[in-house]
Amino acid sequence: MLSKLLKYEIKATGRIFLPLFLALLIFAGITRFISAVGPEKWATPAILSMIIYIIIMVGMFVMTFLMMIQRFYKNLLSDEGYLMLTLPTKPWKHITSKLLVSMLWMGVSVIVAMISILIIAFNKGDISDIAKGFTRFYHLVLEQLGASAYLMTFEIIIAILLSLASGILIVYASIALGHLFSPHRTLASFGAFIVLSTLTKIFFILVSFNGFSNIYFNISSINDLVGLQSTMQMVIGYGIIFTGIQCAAYFTVTNFILSKRLNLD
Amino acid sequence: MSVILECTELTKKFASKIAVSGVNLKVERGQIVGLLGPNGSGKSTIIKLANGLLTPTRGNILIGGRKPGIETKKIVSYLPEKTYLNDWMRVHQIIELFSDFYDNFKPEKAYDMLKRLNINANDRLKTMSKGTKEKVQLILVMSREAELYLLDEPIGGVDPAARDYILATILSNYNENATVIISTHLISDIEKILDSVIFINQGQVVLTSTVDDIRDEKGKSVDGLFREVFKC
């Protein structure tokens, strides 16, 4: 069932995002082309297409954010919820499918944005320079850290994905909590968001106080990259655990409300 | 006969008012039941509670002995009073969605009914009138071989000619083990297909009876009795 939900979620959102990505790449190409033709004669069109390019870029990131809210609210908690929530699937699968697809589009947006920048700014030899830089960096890191470099990269990726997920799930949880306050749901959702972020900060401070002594002890022993590395790994480790707990809490709240406290208008 | 829908002391309060109040009800399989009452009497609320779209304040509602959940959603086919279709899909895409999620959905039945009502499966839902959307929804709901059909105001928004076809569809599409519960206030239109009725007013059941009993014992039509009971 989860795979079917994912399929429909991608269909429903892809029809918005794919044209946006295409438009961004096309305007990056146009900007590049016009600027290449000749700077003086083509100044105005070049600026114009650059502005359109930037607007599309901003629009794309705003859209990933709006879409995340809209797909959750409109598809599950407004009229469309009559269809979605009477399908024979568990609510957690709805939440998971929406979360994963939101993360997917956010990730792809970043990649498409980078490609478009490359299109505009690309010069001959750049690619090999970039590649050279990467290889040098890779060797340097590997030399200093050894095999644990892979572990660290893996940890960083996990940490990024988890923070993205927690950013989305806090919004889902806020909307779900707002849903409990029948006449003023939107206002209540904003209130819930403020309360949830405050609670999270308090929790973070409490956790840091506990972890702080360990990290402090480690910082005092930093005198080379290896020492720095173990401290960094510790910080990232704490970050992963902390963000993971956050995600789990927001997910549990959202799932509880969708399965036990649902009240569709 | 076994019971398909059972409510015990079912109560639903909203912020300011009680929509359903201590309802006790048993509906047996294999009949078409009219859930009848004036506007705002709690008909839709009971049906939404049966679908798990609302959480009861007190009491219980059971479908085939189970609380609303995955297992009940598999056997319940629900037509809400709202249009739940998103506007960007085409009719055939929504049919695919139903085939994907419901094992008991029969697409050939749906295409057959679409043809009868002159609805093009390639049309976008966005371009359709409200009445046509309602027809599409009813077709989707009746193309499932469910054990319990919960139809909330199925004929409210469609023209009288389509009404007859829809009622005939409801009659011909359910098997003898299935149960159909129709909520409406357009009683004279559906009276002829009902086996029994539940009258509901201000969140409480005021009468349950078979249609034959109403005719034999009271010498009235359901419509006549309804007008008498709910006289303003």
Q: What is the pLDDT of residues A14-31, one digit of tens each?
A: 999 999 999 999 999 998
Categorize the per-residue pLDDT at A41 as very low, low, confident or very high, splitting at 50, 70 and 90: low
Q: Is the ipTM of this complex over 0.90?
A: yes
When mean pLDDT is compared across A80-94, A126-140, B58-72, the lowest value belongs to A126-140
Give A178-230 pLDDT, tens digit per residue.
999 978 899 999 999 999 999 999 988 887 776 655 665 555 555 665 667 77
Identify from B44, B100, B125 which residue to disrupt to test chain A contact, counting A C-beta atoms within 10 A and taking the largest count.
Answer: B100
**Domains of chain B by residue range:** 3-229
Q: B15 to chain A: which residues are within 8 Å by CB?
A: 182-183
Rounded to an integer, the average pLDDT of B198-225 is 92
Q: Give me the percent of chain B exceeding a pLDDT of 70.
A: 100
**Domains of chain A by residue range:** 1-122, 126-265
Give B71-118 pLDDT, tens digit per residue.
999 999 999 988 898 889 999 999 999 999 999 999 999 999 999 989
- How many Cβ atoms sit within 10 Å of the Cβ of residue B129? 9
Six-digit token string for A250: 């927001």
Better pLDDT: B16 or A202: A202
Chain CA centroid to CA A58, Å: 15
- Does residue A159 have a pLDDT over 60? yes
Chain A positions contacting chain B at CB under 8 Å are 1, 4, 8, 12, 15, 75, 79-83, 85-90, 182-183, 260-264
- How many Cβ atoms sit within 10 Å of the Cβ of residue B3? 15
Q: Among candidates A241, A236, A218, which has minimal Cα distance to A228?
A: A218
Residue among B54, B78, B80 minimizing CB distance to A262: B54
Q: B101 to chain A: which residues are within 8 Å by CB?
A: 1, 4, 87-89
pLDDT score of A104? 97
Categorize the per-residue pLDDT at B40 as very low, low, confident or very high, splitting at 50, 70 and 90: confident
Q: Do B53 and A262 touch (CB under 8 A)?
A: yes
Amino acid at position B221, single letter: S
pLDDT score of A40? 64
When mean pLDDT is compared across A136-140, B10-14, B155-159, the lowest value belongs to B155-159
Cα distances (angstroms) measured from residue A122 to each of A42, A116, A118, A119, B139: 19, 10, 5, 6, 56
CATH number of the B3-229 domain: 3.40.50.300
pLDDT score of A220? 59
Q: What is the DSSP string of B5-17?
A: EEEEEEEEE-SS-
Identify from B101, B124, B141 which residue to disrupt to test chain A contact, counting A C-beta atoms within 10 A and taking the largest count.
Answer: B101
pLDDT score of A218? 57
